[in-house]
Every structure is written in C-alpha cells, then in structure tokens.
Amino acid sequence: MVIVMRKDADQASVDRVLSEVENLGFTPHVSAGESRTLIGAIGPAPTEELREHFAGLGGVETVVRTTKPFKLASREFKHDDSFVMIGGVKTGNGRFVVAAGPCGVESREQTLSAADIVKSGGGQVLRGGAYKPRTSPYAFQGLGEEGLAILAEARAATGMPIVTEVTAPELVEKVAGTADMLQVGARNTQNFALLAAVGRSGKPVLFKRGMSTSITEFLQAAEYILSQGNPNVVLCERGIRTFETATRFTLDVGAVPVLKELSHLPVWVDPSHAAGKRSLVTSLALAGAAAGADGIIVEVHPKPEEAKSDAAQQLDAGEFGALMSRLGPVVEALGKSL
Ligand code: PEP
Ligand code: MN
C-alpha cells in the first residue's frame, strides 16, 4: 500500500502516519518528492477497512493499494521518472548515459587505453570487470583487487566514474570502496543475498536482467535492493534466452517500454551481450535508445581480437566512435540529452 500525502501536509502529519504504519505492523518507506511525500507501507495485503483507516488520517490525500508484487519499484509508488547519480553523471529523467569499456580489466595498459577511447568518443562512464562471473571455471576470472586498482587509476586519468561487477556478498565492501556504481550481472539477478548486500551499500547499482528472468521476477528482485533503503537502481535489459541462436541472446527491446510503464527506475540496454557479435552491436544499441532506454552499456576494447573474454562482441575505437555519432540523433529525437 502506498500512502500519498497532500501537497500541504506538514511534517507532524507525516510523522503521525509513519507511527501508525509501524503500529499496525507495516514497514514504512518514505519517498520525499519535490511536491509531496509518499509513504510505502510494506507488509501483508491491506483490507479495505485498513485502507480507509489510513485514508482518514490527517494530511493524507489518497491510499493506493499496489496490486503489483513489487512496490518501491512501481510507478504506483512513484509516478515521476527517477534519476540516479553515478559519481557526477546523471542518468534517467531525460538524461541518456553511455557507459563503455572492456568486458574485463586485463592489464593497466589495456584499461587505460580503453578509457581513452571511451572518453574521446564521448562516453561518460567507464565499465570494466575486475571480478568476472564466467560460465567456465577455466576461463579468465578477472584480476580481482589488482583490477580495482587499475580502474581507480583510469578514473583518476579520465575523470570518468567507474561501473564494475560484484559477484558475491562478501566482495561488496571491497568493490564499493573503488566503484562509483556496482554491477549485478545476469547470472546473479536472483542472488538475493548479493542483492541485499548491494542494497545495504547504498551505492548506485546497475542491475541486469537474468537471461531467464521474467519482467515481474526482475522487478521483484530489484525490490530486494530498494527495500534495503537504496533507491539508486538502474535496470538493464541485456538479452534473454529464446530458441533463436543467430544472436547470443535475444535483446528484449519490448522490455524497455514495459519496464518504463511499470517502474519509475531508469532503464539501460546492453547491446553487447545480447548481440554476441560486433557487427550487430550498433543496431541493438540504437534500437534500445529508440525504445526509450535511459542509457546503454557497451563493451569497447583497444584490441578486441586479443580480449580475454567476450572478444567477438567488443567494439574497437573506430566502431565505438561510429556508434556514438549515430546514437546522438536518436537520443535527441526522443527528447533526451546525451
Ligand atoms: C558483463 O557485463 O561483462 C557481463 C558478464 O554481463 P551479463 O551479466 O549481462 O552477462
Ligand atoms: Mn562481457
């Protein structure tokens, strides 16, 4: 249930509603918007009588019974688009962001050179995995702590904030010590202990949809982060598993408007992992932007053919520059700024 306070409601009436919410066994979540305060009451489905009780309290305009299994993520809870700050970079609510960089941090030279390419191409956020969740235990697992130090150096050199993946709850503190944004990957979408841990960290989270996760399951999983009091969640569509094998995954472009309809959270698209092949990345990136995404995360490598992971899908400097010049007009046509 979401309790919408009147625009002129004072703090005393907000406090009264909050204590009543707690007294009746719900957990309150306050969202103090620019014009009014919303109070989410998390708990069992409320009866009509209870709804009326809250609607009758001083300063309350209306009480919305959220029918969705996700609450804090829902448009019913918050009508206006949210934005998330990644360091000094804003995404959502009209601001489109390009995060780019190598799949994995492989060396100092490779990462600094990728960071240069991203920066000079017009990207705003640097990506790069220090901890890689690989399907095979024999594949390159990332440089770990050494990778984090290289990312910190790349940030110092370029001024770009860093997004990097965290693969286990016990690594959250360490990765959050360097990252401006924590990525939770598709293989961890329903790793609820990890979601709660990144929620507690308070850091912005780039939350990827699992390859077999329905949109409702995805938003319920996002709720694990939000319900820890961390509102800084960016949802990311990165392709789902279908019968089709021509692409690595099937980019669910339709998920973008669906997520925007159901949720106030910013939505990004990852064209690289959906495509699996560099020749398809730009088209999927443009499709994601045209579908209403608030950003993309794309893999860029100085020498893609030498990459230790995802070699086939990483763009080189020229390809990234070409993507950026085609992306600009699409983003503008959607009334957003890049
Ligand atoms: C990645 O970003 O390199 C990655 C592993 O992505 P995903 O979790 O979407 O597969
Ligand atoms: Mn990758």
Pocket test of ligand 1: the residue of 132, 273, 297, 308 to mutate, having most ligand atoms within 8 Å of its CB, is 273
- Any atom of ligand 1 within 6 Å of the Cβ of 209: no
**What residue owns the CA closest to ligand 1's atom 6?**
185
Average pLDDT value for the chain = 96
pLDDT of 201 reads 96
Instruction: Tell me how far the alpha carbon of residue 255 lies from the centroid of ligand 2, in angstroms.
Output: 21
pLDDT of 44 reads 82
3-state secondary structure of 288: helix
pLDDT of 1 reads 87
Number of H helices, E strands in the chain: 11, 14
Average pLDDT over residues 309-335: 98
Instruction: Tell me how far the alpha carbon of residue 28 lies from the centroid of ligand 2, in angstroms.
Output: 38
pLDDT of 100 reads 99
pLDDT digits (tens, 9 = 90+) for 139-188: 999 999 999 999 999 999 999 999 999 999 999 999 999 999 999 999 99
* 33 has a pLDDT exceeding 80: no
Ligand nearest the Cα of residue 99 is: 1
pLDDT of 119 reads 98
Which of 155, 147, 148, 139 lies closest to 99 in space, CA to CA? 155
Query: Given the CA of residue 185, which atom of ligand 1 is nearest to it?
Result: 8
Average pLDDT over residues 296-305: 98
- Any atom of ligand 1 within 6 Å of the Cβ of 278: no
- Any atom of ligand 1 within 6 Å of the Cβ of 186: yes
pLDDT of 2 reads 87
Report percent pLDDT > 90 for the chain.
88
- Any atom of ligand 1 within 6 Å of the Cβ of 273: yes
Query: Given the CA of residue 187, which atom of ligand 1 is nearest to it?
Result: 8
pLDDT of 42 reads 85
Distance CA(166)–CA(185), nearest Å, equals 8
Pocket test of ligand 1: the residue of 111, 183, 251, 308 to mutate, having most ligand atoms within 8 Å of its CB, is 183
- Asked which of 2-6, 36-40, 261-265, 289-293 is least confident by mean pLDDT, the reply is 36-40
Contacts of 64 (CB under 8 A, 6+ apart): 1, 2, 4, 76, 77
- Any atom of ligand 1 within 6 Å of the Cβ of 103: yes
Question: Which tokens belong to 105?
Answer: 């941090």
**What residue owns the CA closest to ligand 1's atom 10?**
186
Average pLDDT over residues 268-287: 98
Instruction: Tell me how far the alpha carbon of residue 323 lies from the centroid of ligand 2, in angstroms.
Output: 18
Average pLDDT over residues 1-20: 94
User: pTM for the whole thing?
Assistant: 0.90
Contacts of 253 (CB under 8 A, 6+ apart): 237, 269, 287, 288, 291
Ligand nearest the Cα of residue 274 is: 1
pLDDT digits (tens, 9 = 90+) for 64-74: 887 788 988 99
* 32 has a pLDDT exceeding 80: no
- Any atom of ligand 1 within 6 Å of the Cβ of 210: no
Distance CA(114)–CA(102), nearest Å, equals 7
pLDDT digits (tens, 9 = 90+) for 193-245: 999 999 999 999 999 999 999 999 999 999 999 988 899 999 999 999 999 99
**What residue owns the CA closest to ligand 1's atom 4?**
185
Question: Which tokens belong to 312?
Answer: 């086939």
Average pLDDT over residues 307-317: 98
pLDDT of 11 reads 95
Instruction: Give the model's confidence band at 191: pLDDT under 50 very low, under 70 low, under 90 confident, else very high.
Output: very high
